Amino acid sequence: MNYTLNQLQIFLKIVETKSITKASELLFLTQPAVSIQLKNFQNQFDIPLTEVIGRQLYVTPFGEEIAEASKRILKEVEAMKHKTMAYKGFLTGQLNIAVVSTGKYVMPYFLSGFLKTHSEIDLKMDVTNRYKVLKSLEQNEVDFALVSVMPNNLNVASIPLMQNKLFLIGNTTRANELSYKNNELILEDLPLIYREKGSATRQAMEDYLSVRQVNTNKKIQLSTNEAIKQAVISGLGYSVMPLIGLKNELRNKELTIIPAQGLPVTSFWNLIWLKGKKFTPAATAYINYLKTKKDAIILENFSWHENFQKP
């Protein structure tokens, strides 16, 4: 057999997505390139790895076994790379981090300096919803998770990184449409846009409205903060959102923060891990890095956020 590591990686992505189109998008390759590599890989086996029924691609039982073997081969190759660098005196390994979607505005700044110093450490960061983040942590698939609401069902340790402030936002040109009673905003009149259920942002928004005994007449649900931002900019409605992801839109006056009693809702971004977890040298070094550099990172990159005052 004369397969390449590139073919193994492409085949695994096809197995994962069950689609040549999706695999090509995730690998930043053209569909023909992925198809050719799958064909070249298949030609080395007498038994089919995949089959297409209708328009759906399926992985055969033999293909599943080859996929598992491919994972082991690639894992061993990765281990050889790290061992080589370790013999040269470099800190090596891989950091695995799961991040809730809004955390994408936070986590990279707490990683860049560390990875520049330790260039031989690989990073795998999964940005997804809170449910999947906590599931990955619970199943010990990641070293760390970044959350803004601590889990109740997991025994975790944590490092608090920085504040998470949530404000009511709206389209700048629609401020004159707001209604007030006794100088207090009437929230019931607003078409409110929510994140999907399970989101920490959704929970914070619902808790805020519940405390104020607000029952909204119109509710819109979108699955990402980016989608909500665009919906609010378009004038579709209003939402309670984390300040951390609004810097450019506020500066460009596409969005405005609407004063409302009880806001901002404030929590903390926490990097968490399972208590008792045995860290790799890379993970241990990263914890030590955060303990010594966290305040300087916040001062350099997030002073605007920490010092932001409610209107």
SS3 for 232?
A: helix
Identify which has the larger pLDDT, 267 or 76. 267
| Distant-in-sequence contacts of 173-180, Cβ < 8 A, 24+ apart | 173/235, 174/235, 175/256, 175/258, 178/258
Instruction: Check: CB of residue 195 under 8 Å from CB of residue 202.
Output: yes
Give CA separation, 215 vs 140, 192, 210, 211, in Å: 40, 11, 8, 11
Can you point out the beta strands (E) in the chain?
50-53, 56-59, 93-100, 121-128, 144-147, 156-171, 180-181, 184-185, 192-194, 219-221, 239-242, 255-257, 265-274
As annotated, the residues of the chain forming the CATH 3.40.190.10 domain(s) are 87-162+268-306, 164-267
As annotated, the residues of the chain forming the CATH 1.10.10.10 domain(s) are 5-77
Amino acid found at 80: M
| 176 C-beta neighbours (distance < 10 Å), count | 5
Least confidently predicted of 4-18, 23-37, 89-103 = 89-103
Give CA separation, 126 vs 39, 222, 257, in Å: 30, 20, 30
Helical (H) or strand (E) element with 174: none
pLDDT-derived band at 108 (thresholds 50, 70, 90) equals very high
Average the pLDDT over 196-213 and give the result.
88
Residue 89 has pLDDT above 70, yes or no: no
Class of domain 87-162+268-306: alpha beta
Average the pLDDT over 239-250 and give the result.
93
CATH 3.40.190.10 is the classification of domain 164-267: yes
Instruction: Check: CB of residue 148 under 8 Å from CB of residue 270.
Output: yes
Average the pLDDT over 233-248 and give the result.
93
Digit-coded pLDDT (tens) for 42-88: 999 999 999 988 889 999 999 999 999 998 888 877 777 766 655 55
Beta bridge partners of 123: 95
CATH 3.20.20.70 is the classification of domain 5-77: no
Closest to 279 measured CA to CA, from 114, 110, 142: 142
Percent residues over pLDDT 90 in the chain: 57
Instruction: Check: CB of residue 94 under 8 Å from CB of residue 65.
Output: no
Digit-coded pLDDT (tens) for 147-176: 999 999 899 999 999 999 999 999 988 777
The whole-angstrom distance between residue 133's C-alpha and the CA centroid of its chain comes to 8
* pLDDT at res. 311: 67
